[in-house]
Amino acid sequence: MVEAPAIQADAPPAPPCALVIFGASGDLTKRLLMPSLYNLAHEGVLDPNFAIIGVDRVEHTDQSFREHLTDAVEELAAKNHPIDREVWQWLVSRAIYITGDFDGAGAYEQLKERLASRQTDVGDANAVFYMAVTPRFFATIAEQLGAADLLTESDTAFRRFVVEKPFGTDLASAKALNARLLAVAEESQIYRMDHFLGKETVQNVMALRFGNGMFEPIWSREYVDHVQITAAETVGVEQRGRFYDATGALRDMVPNHMFQLLAMVAMEPPNSFDADAVRTEKSKVIQAIRQMRPGEAATHVVRGQYRAGEVLGKPVADYREEPDVSPESHTETYIAIKCMIDNWRWNGVPFYIRTGKALATRRTEIAIHFKRAPGVLFRENPDCTLAPNVLVIHVQPDEGISLRFAAKVPGRKVRLAEVDMDFRYADYFQSAPSTGYETLIYDCLSGDPTLFQRADNIEAGWAAVDPILKATAAGMIDVHGYAAGTSGPTMADVLLAQDGSQWLPLERERPR
C-alpha cells in the first residue's frame, strides 16, 4: 500500500474509517466527493487506515474503478489546477468496489464481508455510508443496511450514514422518510447534508455575530429593518430538466439551503458550540417562521419562470423549450418569499428570500438592512439624506463582508455620501482549493454533526413551505415570466416595494 505523503495539517486526522459510497460510479462521486477527499488527503487529515468502498450497479473491478476515478479527477484537474500524483495515488490505492443492486441483499452481504476483512486486517470496524444516489433509494439502502446488521455500533466502532438533499418533497414525505430512517438507526447516526453549510462564509456568520461585541447588541428588531437572503444562479436547468420540472425552485432550495442561511442569521446564541446546542437554536428559528394562511401566499410569494434571453453573453432558451421540460410547464425557476419570524428578537422584521436560475449574475449573500438613523441633525440639508446602513455577508463566489455607511464628503459644505468598507477572505487568508464538501466530509468522519440537519429541522422547514405548495397546487400563485439574464420577475420588486424597500441590485461591483 502507498505510504501517506508528509503534509502538515491544521487539524488532527479523522479517525480510521471506511467510507462506503453508494452510487460510486455517478456524477456526484466523480465531480465532488473524490475531489473533496483528494483535498482532505492533501491536507493530511485522512487517517493512514482510511479506505473507500464503492457500491453501484455499474460493473467494475477494483482496478477499473480506480481508473474511472483517476480519469474523472484528471479531467477536473485539467480545468482547474494540477493534482499531486503522490497524494492521489495514496488515496485511490485505498479504493475497492462492489457491484450490486441497492435493493438486493447480495451487495450488502459482500459489503459485510469486506468490512469484516478490513477489521481483521487493520483492526478498524468504523464505517460511514454515503448515499450519493437519487432520493428514492435513501430509505431502501438504510433498511438494507439495517437488515444486514451493518448499522449496529459498539464501544469501539461507529456506523453513520450521510443523506444528500432533497430530503422529501413536502412535509408528509419528509416525515415518512425520517420515520423509515429512524426505524433502523439512531438520530445521532444520521447526517443530513446541505453543502451550503460547508462554505467558510456561512460558518463565519456565527463568528461575526457572536465573536464581535459591536454586532450582537444591534442584531434584533430594535435596529434591523429587514433582511435579504439571495441565492442567484446564472445556469439554467441544463440536463436536469426531468428532475427540475418535477421539483422547482421552492422545493429545490428553500426548505434546505435558504432556511439554513436564515437560521444562521436569526438564531439565538447557543450556550456552547456543542452540536446539539447549535442545532437546537437553528431549529427553534425555523419552527418560528410564520406559516402563511391561504390568502397570504398570493401577496407574500412571487413565482417566476425564465424565458429566452442572454446570460453572460450566451443565448439561453425558454425554460419550456429545455430538454425534458413540459412545453406547458408552470414550474417555477425563481421564487421570492416574505417570511416573518414569530419570536421576541425578530417580531415584525421581514426576511425576504429570493433564489432563481438563469439570472444576470451568480451571487449568494445575506444583507442586513438596519433602520435609518434619526435625521434631526440633517433634516434641513438636502445634501444630507440618510440612507440605511447595510451589512452584506458575501457567501459566494467572492467570500467576504461589506458594510455600507454614511460619511462626510470632503469640502467646506456638509454633504453626506454612502461609502463601503469591504473585507475579502482572499485578501487576508490563504485558502486551499475547495469544493465546499471538505468540511462536511471531515466532520462526518470525525463525528461532529453541527453542520448537519436533525429531523426536527428538516420537518420545520417543510412545515413553513407547505402552505405555499398547497396554494400553488390550488392555482392561487401565478408564475411570472422573466427574461434570462435579468434579475427576475418585476413582481419580485413589487413584493418589497409594498413595504417601502427594494432589493440590493444583483449586478453591482464590490468596492475595492
Q: Is the peptide bond before 166 cis (omega within 30 degrees of 0)?
A: yes
Q: How many domains does the chain have?
A: 2
Task: Take residue 177 and report the three cell numbers written for it.
Answer: 422518510
Q: What is the mean pLDDT of the chain?
A: 88
The per-residue pLDDT for 183 is: 96
The answer to whether 413 is a known ligand-binding residue is no
Residue 87 domain-assigned (yes or no) = yes
Greater pLDDT, 399 or 203:
399
Task: Extract the runs of DSSP E, i.e. beta strands, from 362-451.
Answer: 363-370, 390-396, 400-408, 416-424
Examine the domain organization and report whether 328 and 470 are in the same domain: yes
Examine the domain organization and report whether 156 and 203 are in the same domain: no
Examine the domain organization and report whether 220 and 314 are in the same domain: yes
Structural domain harbouring 52: 18-164
> What angle is formed at CA 162 by the lines to CA 156 and CA 165, rounded to 5 degrees?
165
The answer to whether 427 is a known ligand-binding residue is no
Residue 344 domain-assigned (yes or no) = yes
pLDDT band with cut points at 50, 70 and 90 for residue 156: confident
Examine the domain organization and report whether 223 and 270 are in the same domain: yes
Q: Is the peptide bond before 397 cis (omega within 30 degrees of 0)?
A: yes
Examine the domain organization and report whether 151 and 265 are in the same domain: no
List residues bridging with 21 in a β-sheet. 54, 130
Examine the domain organization and report whether 108 and 219 are in the same domain: no
The answer to whether 29 is a known ligand-binding residue is yes
pTM (2 decimals)?
A: 0.89
Examine the domain organization and report whether 29 and 89 are in the same domain: yes
Asked if residues 310 and 488 have their Cβ atoms less than 8 Å apart, the reply is no
Examine the domain organization and report whether 355 and 224 are in the same domain: yes
Examine the domain organization and report whether 250 and 121 are in the same domain: no
Examine the domain organization and report whether 84 and 221 are in the same domain: no
- The CATH number that applies at residue 61 is 3.40.50.720
Q: What is the mean pLDDT of residues 109-133?
A: 92
The answer to whether 338 is a known ligand-binding residue is no
- Give the active site residue among 257, 300, 369, 394: 257
- The CATH number that applies at residue 235 is 3.30.360.10
Residue 246 domain-assigned (yes or no) = yes
Residue 404 domain-assigned (yes or no) = no
Examine the domain organization and report whether 335 and 286 are in the same domain: yes
Cα–Cα dist 198/388, whole Å: 31
The answer to whether 371 is a known ligand-binding residue is no
Residue 6 domain-assigned (yes or no) = no
Task: Take residue 495 and report the three cell numbers written for it.
Answer: 413584493
pLDDT band with cut points at 50, 70 and 90 for residue 31: confident
Residue 57 domain-assigned (yes or no) = yes
Residue 119 domain-assigned (yes or no) = yes
Cα–Cα dist 19/47, whole Å: 12
Examine the domain organization and report whether 233 and 349 are in the same domain: yes
Residue 300 annotated to the active site:
no
What are residue 507's phi and psi, to 5 degrees?
-95, 100
The answer to whether 326 is a known ligand-binding residue is no
Nearest to 238 by CA among 310, 315, 304, 322: 322
The answer to whether 233 is a known ligand-binding residue is yes
DSSP secondary structure letters along 144-207: HHHHTT-S--BTTB-EEEEEESP--SSHHHHHHHHHHHHTTS-GGGEEEE-GGGGSHHHHHHHH
The per-residue pLDDT for 344 is: 95
The per-residue pLDDT for 150 is: 95
Residue 143 domain-assigned (yes or no) = yes
